[in-house]
Amino acid sequence: MGTAADGGQDRPVLAAGCVVWRPAPGDGVELLLVHRPRYDDWSHPKGKLHPGESARAAALREVREETGLDCRLGAPLSTARYLAKGRPKEVSYWAAQAVGGRFEPNDEVDRVLWLPPTGARARLSHEPDRLLLDEALPHMTAP
């Protein structure tokens, strides 16, 4: 029986990501969306776990690699499950507050946008990402 780490086809590919937010002027929040040129879509930052890496650590690492931002993990969110290239994939998500850093375009993400919730919801390319945003919104408060 194979594993996701050794390329086994019967185990899901494990990944992690975040619905990233920051306080906006006034009482609101802004959400970070990433544009992935490979897929020409707008989504939340996410990526595969490294062997032996926890989902929490992978979520923070992937946000940093894709966006240059450091985040503070908040509430855990739903785990997305779907097929990717014919293999099951499971992506664990957290709400995460951006606390520092700066975006620089890279191979995986060429643009980012900070948008209010209604604008982010409209811009997201995939319905499951919109549902994740809706789930995260009640958890977006600074500690």
Question: In the prediction, which pLDDT does 10 show?
Answer: 75
Question: In the prediction, which pLDDT does 5 show?
Answer: 47
pLDDT of residue 72 exceeding 60, the answer is: yes
**Overall number of domains in the chain:** 1
Q: Per the domain annotation, does 2 fall within a domain?
A: no
* Separation between Cα atoms, residue 115 and residue 21, nearest integer Å: 9
Task: Give the CATH number for residue 77.
Answer: 3.90.79.10
**Residue 76: CB partners within 8 Å, gap ≥ 6?**
92, 93, 94
Question: Which residue's structure tokens are 């908040």?
Answer: 74
Per-residue model confidence as pLDDT tens digits over 85-95: 899 999 999 99
Lowest mean pLDDT among 50-54, 76-80, 83-87: 83-87
User: DSSP string covering 39-105, please?
Assistant: TTEEE--EEEPPTT--HHHHHHHHHHHHH-EEEEEEEE-PPEEEEETTEEEEEEEEEEEEEEE----
Torsion of CA 126, 130, 132, 135, to 10 degrees: -170
Question: In the prediction, which pLDDT does 143 show?
Answer: 64
Q: Per the domain annotation, does 47 fall within a domain?
A: yes
Q: Per the domain annotation, does 5 fall within a domain?
A: no
Q: Per the domain annotation, does 105 fall within a domain?
A: yes
Q: What is the mean pLDDT of residues 98-120?
A: 96
- Structural domain span for residue 54: 13-139
pTM of the model: 0.91
Mean pLDDT of the chain: 93
Q: Per the domain annotation, does 3 fall within a domain?
A: no
Question: In the prediction, which pLDDT does 44 show?
Answer: 98
* Tokens matching residue 117: 């919730």
